[in-house]
Each structure stands twice: as structure tokens, then as C-alpha cells.
Amino acid sequence: MNDFSLKKYPKQIITAAVILLIVVVLAILKPGEQELLSRTSPEMQKLIEADQHSSRKRVTVTYNSLLVINYASLSTSGAKEMSEKYVGFLGNVYPADEGPAKIAGQMVNYTYRMLGVKENLMHGAKLTILLTTLTVVFGILLGTLLALGKISKRKILSKLSGAYIFFFRGTPLLIQMFVVYFTVPGIFGFAWRDLFNASDAEAVYKGAFLAALIAFSLNSGAYCAEIVRSAIQSIDKGQFEASKALGMNYAQTMSRIIIPQSIRRMIPNVSNEFIMILKDASLVFAISLMDITTISKNIMTSEGSYLVFIPALVIYLVITAFFGFIFDKIEKKFSVYE
């Protein structure tokens, strides 16, 4: 049952171990924050020194640390403007004024911001992952109900589910989100942010997130319904007959025999749906949620850095790969009986 053995995956295991080792060594060799800041020019050192005894800070320090590489940017405001940037990598500190060190420094800084390392769940990759995961969970629950409705012998249920699926698959998710975010509160006279504590500075974001989650879940439900329906209908008719012959009713047959067997067959499609939602989640930029896409667009606009989209793509790819791996594991776990 446990097929994760050295014999079967020697190459993969050795590669993973080597990569891990390299990462660990690089992370250990990485210069620390103090080391980076101590490399500044004498003038900057004086200003930092002065700041320690003054309540008016003149130096703004930005420090980003990403596993094997880190980046510090120091800038001053006021009469004498100064700006210094440093990149720490492999035991060395490089001034990031030009060339590879500059690009590396920018990449670290952008990635750091898009991941939302120091921010709460309403920012960057955390927001994207949270929205995607919750959407898939609610989508599957809703999709299961819709699928049972669709295959139901009751005409009304079947027609209603069919209409729901037709509507949500036949219209753009972006507009569905606009409807939930703008139209619904417009009609019913409320504002999404008012659902949260007014003193909460993040109330706007939380309100928008809730609206996005509702729109995404309603949309995903329609797609998951088709996934669940096709999985249920792929189960051998003999399973229904055996259950019936043993006296089980419809609910017992579905919940104990058919759906547990369908789950394994759904996993590859759910994995697909997950990746689709992950990418669709970038649409939340349209209601100004601070996800990876919005942050990259903001960096592009405010700092004129056209390179920012490259780390953005890499972040999406890493998230996709990670969850693809997780879904693979889940599928194996559910396959023990085959």
C-alpha cells in the first residue's frame, strides 16, 4: 500500500534531497539583517545612529528575507535624500544599484510583497489560497446537492438544478462577482463593509472578500455539480442494484455506497477545478482586493517595474504545483481498495 519506497522513486528522492540540502546550506550562509544594515555608507550609519536617540525617524528601512536571499532598502526623507539598497546572498552582501544584484533585489522585494509575508490573510498569496480553498469546499458541497438534484427523478428538482448550472456556467464569473458585490447590496440597501466592525481598518477588504467568496462558491457549485454528477453516474449500476436488494433506501445507498466510491473518481477533476479557481481568483482585482494580481499591478503602476509579473507567474506556478501534489496524495489515499 505504501508505494513511496526508495526502490520505486530513487531519482525523485535523491533530487529532492539534493535540492533541500542546497536550500538549507544557502539559508544558513545568508547574511543576517544586522550584517546587511552594517554595510551602509558612513552617512547612512550616522543617520541610523541619530534615529536611535530621536523620536523623529528619518530613515525608512525595508527588510525582506526570502529563504536563501534577503534584501534591505534604506531611504531618507527631508533635506538630504539618500537611498541605498543591498542584497544578501551566499554569505556576501552586494550593493543593489545595478546589474544582477538590482534585479535580484527587486525580485525579492516584489515576491515578498506579493506573498504578503508580513500581512494578514487579506493580502497576497494568502488571500488567493484562502479564497480558492474555501471556494472549492463550498463548491463541492453545493455541487453535490445540485448533482443529486440533477439526477433526481423529480422533474422540478432536476429542471431547477439544470437551470442553475446553465446560468452559472453560461455567464462570466467577473460579472457574477459584480452582481454580488454591487447589485445585491444596491437592491437591498446595505454595504458589504458594514457587515464587519466599523473600527476595523480591514472591514472594506473583509466585505469584498465575503462578496467574492459567495460569487466564487455559487459559480464553482455549478462546475462541481457536473463533476459530482459524472462521477456518480460512472459508478456501476450493479452497486445500486446490490444496495437495493439489501434493502437500503436511496439516502443510505447514496451516502454509504455511491458517494464514497465517487469521491475517488472526482479527485482529478476537483484538482482541475481547484487550479481553474486559483487562476480565476485573480479577478478579485476588479473589486480591489489585494491578491497577488492586484499587488503586481500596483507595483507595475507605482514603480514602473515591468519585471514584476515574472515572480507573479512563478508564485502561481508554485501554488499550483503544491496543491497538485496534495491532490495526488489524496487520490492515492482513496485508492487503497483498488
Partner 1 sequence: MNDNYEYILKTEHVSKKFGDLEVLKDINLSVKKGEVICIIGPSGAGKSTFLRSLNQLEKITSGKIFVRDELFLHRENDHTVDKLPREKQQQLLLEMGMVFQRFNLFPHKTVLQNVCEAPIVVKKEKKEEVVARAKELLERVGLSDKADAYPSRLSGGQQQRVAIARALAMNPEIMLFDEPTSALDPELVGDVLQVMKELARSGMTMLVVTHEMGFAREVADRVLFMADGIIAEEGTPEEIFTNPKAERTQNFLSAILDA
What's the closest the beta carbon of residue 144 comes to partner 1, in angstroms?
17
Residue 279 Cα distances to 179, 191, 193, 225, 294, angstroms: 20, 27, 25, 20, 13
Among 19, 23, 242, 318, binds partner 1 (CB under 8 A): 242
Among 236, 301, 321, 325, binds partner 1 (CB under 8 A): 236
What's the closest the beta carbon of residue 242 comes to partner 1, in angstroms?
4
Which CB atom, from 236 or from 303, has the smaller least distance to partner 1? Answer: 236
Which CB atom, from 81 or from 338, has the smaller least distance to partner 1? Answer: 338
**Cell output for 105:** 533585489
Among 154, 238, 302, 306, binds partner 1 (CB under 8 A): 238
With contacts defined by CB under 8 A, name the span among 26-34, 83-91, 199-207, 232-240 that binds partner 1.
232-240
What's the closest the beta carbon of residue 268 comes to partner 1, in angstroms?
17
What's the closest the beta carbon of residue 1 comes to partner 1, in angstroms?
10
330 binds partner 1 (CB under 8 A): no
239 binds partner 1 (CB under 8 A): yes
Which CB atom, from 117 or from 235, has the smaller least distance to partner 1? Answer: 235
Which CB atom, from 79 or from 251, has the smaller least distance to partner 1? Answer: 251
d(CA 169, CA 183): 19
What's the closest the beta carbon of residue 104 comes to partner 1, in angstroms?
51
Among 46, 244, 329, 333, binds partner 1 (CB under 8 A): 244
Which CB atom, from 66 or from 257, has the smaller least distance to partner 1? Answer: 257
What's the closest the beta carbon of residue 257 comes to partner 1, in angstroms?
6
Positions in 245-284 near partner 1 (CB under 8 A) = 245-248, 252, 256-257, 260-261
What's the closest the beta carbon of residue 270 comes to partner 1, in angstroms?
18
Please count the residues of this chain forming the interface with partner 1, following the rule CB under 8 A.
18
Contact residues for partner 1 (CB under 8 A)? Answer: 236, 238-239, 241-242, 244-248, 252, 256-257, 260-261, 336-338
